[in-house]
Structure 1
Amino acid sequence: MLVLAILSVIGLVVLALAADHLVIGAGRLAGRLGVQPVVVGVVVIGFGTSAPELVVAATAAARGHTDLAAASLVGSNIVNMTLILGVGGLTAALAVRSSILRREAPLSLAAVTAFAVALTYGLGPVTGVLLTLAMVASVVMLLRFARADPRDALVAETTDHLGAAIRPRLVVEAARTIVGLGGTLLGAQLLVANVSELAIRAGVSSQVVGFTLVALGTSLPELVTSVQAQRRGDGDLVIGNLLGSNLVNSLVGGAVVAFSSGGVPSAVAPALVVAMVGISGISWGLLARGSRLSRRESVLLLVLYGALLPLIVSAGP
């Protein structure tokens, strides 16, 4: 079991590091190839930082561990809007200066709600198609909104964070992107395979593992991005990163699980599914109050995460 634990940790570290380079490399490569900054900002912020969650969910689902895949997505959504958002607002209040609260926030909440409904009433090919169509519609809407306001703070901050404006060397960034993608796939394989085996041998529910180790591990890119952005005072980037990640987790990740589930309701505890939606709504409400998240409210989000831990531990059989 010690070997399995060590391999799981190695997979987690490789996943986090590789995903970070995948995000940066893809953003800079897009900028070097002349892709519009609005596309880099809107698309990379969601898909890039959600790469670990999506790869882990796809890997787990392909191996037949659909409960682990679903639990990791639900857990990541909860971690993003409690632990990571709370940590991001501890050093200084998070100010929202763009139209995130009217754009990304409602879309993210709607996506999380749709994912929750799918988990509750049944996953299958039809659900997968509906979630995929919802994701396409969301991307189109976000790109249209962003093009309407090219000075949007979120797009500018994301592009600057990725370094897309510095015209890096094409070969270097292409290599970074390929290695980052390969590392993300390798890290996900190591993590899922060894964590699943470890859970089986230890008699721990795959749900508990998915909600804790896997969810927290796959959210590391969001955590790193949020801390770096907050140090620079880019509150929009912190919040947009997390809302975009939850949007992609719920719709793309949910579709992946749906296509692999066999058309049955998820075994994820209903209380945790409700908590995922409730926390998304609470975080939106806190951010909308004065367009900022204070340190006191950040502590509240951290307390919410801690309060959910006993429920998570009791979720498994």
Structure 2
Amino acid sequence: MVAFWFTLLALGVGVTGIVLASSADQLGEAFRLERSVTGFILLAAATSLPELIVSGQLAWNDLPDMAVGGVMGSCLINLLILAGIDLSQRSRGRILSRRAAAHALAALASIMMAAIVGVCVLMPGLPTLGRFHVGTVLVFLSYFVTVRLVFVDRVTSEPVEPHESVSILPETASEQPTRHWLRPLLYYLGATGVILALAAPLTGTSESLATILGLSGTFFGAVFIALVTSLPEAVTTYQATRMDAHDLAIGNILGSNTFNLLILVAIDAFYHKPLFSDLGPVHAITALGIIVTTTIAVMGILYRVEKRIWYLEPDAAGVILSALLFFYFVYSM
């Protein structure tokens, strides 16, 4: 019965997250933002909102390992999503290609933030700055510096591309190509309210299901919670690649990973004491997994030859193998 309710709540979070992502994309269209900026900031924030709310609730309920495990595991699953979709593209060329080299900056930012987390997990005695651990402060600063760098780089390096929506919301014939911002904003706020309502029961069923299955909170969060909260990224990335909007797809995944790591700041705020003082060392393995797997993806982005053999894509296959290997390491610990 617990598994049934967990599945039902997970589907609710996933579907609602898709509506969030669609409305964020329409907001980007309304404000004529460049595609990669929309993907990195607006779409990534929307698709990461389930992680934010669920992880915050877990931290509030004194389950920091499950909360952090869900956030870190979601980063690896997002990379799995991107690599899996890359392998499935038979005729449209690679997603991980030189056309996406501009996203290397965002990828390197997630590597830097994951490295900060790994160091803080292994050195829990680092000082605090007021209520927050110094590690979460550094993660916070790193994210906003990266957003600034990405925005300036994309605005100054090339002209704004025509924006195409990946919306799943209903269209009407009278709507103009540039939509008014009010309607998608209402969808966004409504979907946020639904996820807020689902977060508390999902947290309770997650704890019960982890106990029934005999799994640690860290592993359950890194796999099951991460799978649930990554559903919006999977659907929106797939939709973006179907319309050849590779900038939007990659910006969504890499932006979601940096935003997921930023969520650690919220977890630190909801937890009753400095976060890293109570985390198990296994999270350092997950952080290392994010660093290695993202590095493989960056290598594929920066060095590409467009000739390919279907289903023998070395960098995408490397991303998948690396992510699965680190999930095994987390399970083994």
Q: Could you say which TM-score interval applies, normalised by the shorter chain?
A: 0.7 to 0.9
CA–CA distance in 2 between the matches of 1:21 and 1:311? 34
Structure 2 regions of 5+ residues with no counterpart? 170-174
CA–CA distance in 2 between the matches of 1:293 and 1:108? 29
Aligned to 1:147: 155
Please, which of 277, 286, 289 is the counterpart of residue 275 of structure 1? 289
How many residue pairs match? The answer is 306
- Residue type matched to 1:161 in 2? V
Most deviating of 64-73 and 282-291:
282-291
State whether structure 2 residue 84 is matched by structure 1 residue 87: yes
- Residue type matched to 1:197 in 2? S
3-state SS, counterpart of residue 99 of structure 2: coil
Following superposition of structure 1 onto structure 2, how do residues 214-293 of structure 1 map, counting pairs within 5 Å?
Answer: 214-250=225-261, 252-259=262-269, 260=271, 262-263=273-274, 264=277, 266-269=279-282, 270-290=284-304
Aligned to 2:61: 63
> What is the percentage of aligned positions where both structures have the same residue?
21
Most deviating of 55-64 and 261-270:
261-270
Deviation of 1:23 (Å) = 2.1
3-state SS, counterpart of residue 166 of structure 2: helix
CA–CA distance in 2 between the matches of 1:161 and 1:101? 20
TM-score by length of 2: 0.81
Tell me if structure 2 keeps the 8 A contact 1:60–1:69: yes
Deviation of 1:169 (Å) = 5.4
Q: 1:306 and 1:234, CA in 2 relative to 1: closer, same or farther beyond 3 A? A: same
- Residue type matched to 1:72 in 2? G
Aligned to 1:100: 102
Deviation of 1:150 (Å) = 5.2
Deviation of 1:44 (Å) = 0.7
Deviation of 1:67 (Å) = 0.5
Aligned to 1:212: 223
TM-score by length of 1: 0.85
Q: 1:90 and 1:181, CA in 2 relative to 1: closer, same or farther beyond 3 A? A: same
Deviation of 1:73 (Å) = 1.2
- Residue type matched to 2:240 in 1? A
3-state SS, counterpart of residue 166 of structure 1: coil
Aligned to 1:135: 143
Tell me if structure 1 keeps the 8 A contact 2:100–2:246: no
Q: 1:104 and 1:171, CA in 2 relative to 1: closer, same or farther beyond 3 A? A: closer
3-state SS, counterpart of residue 167 of structure 1: coil
Which structure carries more helix by proportion? 1
Q: 1:301 and 1:209, CA in 2 relative to 1: closer, same or farther beyond 3 A? A: same
1:12-49 deviations in Å (ceiling 9; x for gaps): 111111111112223424654xx351464542132122
Most deviating of 167-176 and 201-210:
167-176
CA–CA distance in 1 between the matches of 2:266 and 2:247? 29
Deviation of 1:248 (Å) = 0.9
Q: 1:78 and 1:261, CA in 2 relative to 1: closer, same or farther beyond 3 A? A: farther
Following superposition of structure 1 onto structure 2, how do residues 14-93 of structure 1 map, counting pairs within 5 Å?
Answer: 14-29=12-27, 31-32=29-30, 35-38=31-34, 40-81=38-79, 83-92=80-89, 93=94
Following superposition of structure 1 onto structure 2, how do residues 179-190 of structure 1 map, counting pairs within 5 Å?
Answer: 179-190=190-201
State whether structure 2 residue 130 is matched by structure 1 residue 119: no
Tell me if structure 1 keeps the 8 A contact 2:6–2:202: yes
3-state SS, counterpart of residue 302 of structure 1: helix
CA–CA distance in 2 between the matches of 1:168 and 1:281? 38
- Residue type matched to 1:61 in 2? A
Q: 1:199 and 1:249, CA in 2 relative to 1: closer, same or farther beyond 3 A? A: same
Please, which of 5, 8, 22 is the counterpart of residue 6 of structure 2? 8
- Residue type matched to 2:265 in 1? A
Deviation of 1:110 (Å) = 1.7
Please, which of 279, 284, 306 is the counterpart of residue 324 of structure 2? 306
Deviation of 1:203 (Å) = 3.0
Q: 1:7 and 1:308, CA in 2 relative to 1: closer, same or farther beyond 3 A? A: same
- Residue type matched to 1:104 in 2? A
1:229-278 deviations in Å (ceiling 9; x for gaps): 2222233322222111111111x212123332623052151333322221
CA–CA distance in 1 between the matches of 2:105 and 2:8? 38
Deviation of 1:180 (Å) = 0.9
Q: 1:314 and 1:165, CA in 2 relative to 1: closer, same or farther beyond 3 A? A: farther
Structure 1 regions of 5+ residues with no counterpart? none
3-state SS, counterpart of residue 22 of structure 1: helix
